[in-house]
Structure 1
């Protein structure tokens, strides 16, 4: 059975009939509710917050965000803003008169909000759509980089995001995680009902800042490795290169070595002086 994201782009797949079918399905409503409550529990919000709902669709998750605080929705009711690429889905949300503000936007082109706008963000069953390129001028990694870069900027320091998605395979799961780490997030993957057809994958993200530990998700999901581990590996690899005598690009040693290489190739280079490799002052 083919996956929806492999057939058409989301704005074409979720046309008027498909959007209404999705919204009125009792099965989908139940699954969406369960995953939204799970995402909220991973956000660990204790007070009413401003939340971005990425791929908000017809507002099924938004209706839960708007509910008063209960054991299932701690900290609510929340104020929320939703963005989605399907005008048909947003049209149904408007018909339902959901309480959130709605934006028609493609997450693969970024998150169109001012830096530090949101306390938190959720995304239910949307991120896998970014793993397909719709034109030869685009790429899945480019779309993921723009999305996570914009999401990171839009969240306040110490903020969190939880993105539930359906990865096609381990390679796609890794690609999504790497894009989040590249954007600066502390990140880790959690899988519920692992190994079953009902498996749900959650990407838990944190923005460093505030109190110590805000950038470490190991306290959010027990037993799960956070991005701090991945970051440490990258730092060790970088420091290892420096220990082996490899100059940092742009340093004086790096410049001198490059000039020597050019001279051996018969190129004309400027003579070395006390100013070689010196940082220039910013001129106003």
Structure 2
């Protein structure tokens, strides 16, 4: 079966392929969870954000929050956008920590300039290559231009954006990278395991500004090591409690840092700091 983005434009596929039932099935599928986790971890490696500073990330095509769950675990504050209402509803039901926006990324963003310290996207960028009609504003070049131009504005200088995607040809890669560069981005394509049909992954790694001497990372070589996948899976399971829910490493310092970032971003309703902030509650039983 061919990929959904090859059969229908995103505004149709968002309800046909990712309706209420399909969104829940996708989210609870353990294989989807593992693939999403592996690619999110890799995207964060390529993003290369210093661990010493709090950051605000944009998750483009956040879906039901599988990537956002990883961002939570790693201590990032984030916001997510997606075109599928059912996927966002599942994310709300799962009580993800990120702020969620219903958005067609092909129409561009309306965020304030410099709002985000970085952006990631997993398996989304190729959707912009499917046009609904022959109208100029629905064409892939127009949608890609709107997307990259407004994203560039929403990112601070310097920063990075990393997109894992599934191109169907070298021409698509060339189209995407050329439009991103015209929008002001530096960087290019990073390919992991280029000689493996099964493990090959394509990432678009973009730079805003040249501060810090940003250089394009190298892709992973050879065949994907099963041991690496096992270690990632083991680390993921270590973060779960007995009920199967993820355990976030959220001590007092982490909570204070996150609350301060929320205040800097102008978010309302942030609880005030007190002696009870981050205090562990005693077990009821």
TM-score relative to the length of structure 2 = 0.71
Q: Go from structure 1 to structure 2 and tell me whether the alpha carbon gap of 1:222 and 1:63 turns closer, same or farther (over 3 Å shift).
A: closer
Greater Cα radius of gyration, structure 1 or 2: 1
Q: Give me the whole-angstrom Cα distance separating, in 1, the residues matched to 2:139 and 2:199.
A: 29
The correspondence for 1:33, drawn from 28, 31, 37, is 37
Q: Which has the higher contact order (CA 8 A, sep 6+)?
A: 2
**In the aligned structure 2, how far is the partner of 1:9 from the partner of 1:51?**
26
Match of 2:59 in 1: 53
Root-mean-square deviation (Å): 1.5
Choose from 103, 106, 112 the match for 2:104. Answer: 106
Q: Give the corresponding residue for 1:143.
A: 143
Displacement of 1:193 in angstroms is 2.1
Q: Which residue of 2 aligns with 1:236?
A: none
Give the alignment partner of residue 70 of structure 2, picking from 45, 64, 71: 64
Q: Match for residue 90 of structure 2?
A: 92
**Structure 2 unaligned runs (5+)?**
221-285
Contact 1:42 1:221 in 2 (8 A): no
- Give the whole-Å Cα distance in 1 for the aligned partners of 2:207 and 2:167: 20
* Structure 1 unaligned residues grouped into runs of 5+: 68-75, 224-284
Q: Is the CA contact (8 Å cut-off) linking 1:205 and 1:217 kept in structure 2? A: no
1:273 aligned residue = none
Q: Which runs of 4+ in 1 moved over 4 A?
A: none
Q: Give the one of 77, 80, 84 matched to 1:79.
A: 77
Q: Is the 8 A contact 2:123 2:165 kept in 1?
A: yes
Alignment length (residue pairs): 211
CA distance in 1, matches of 2:152, 2:47: 15
Matches within 5 A, 1:179-198: 179-195=179-195, 196-198=197-199
Aligned to 1:168: 168
Question: Do the aligned partners of 1:5 and 1:132 also contact (CA within 8 Å) in 2?
Answer: yes
| Cα distance in structure 2, aligned partners of 1:23 and 1:139 | 30
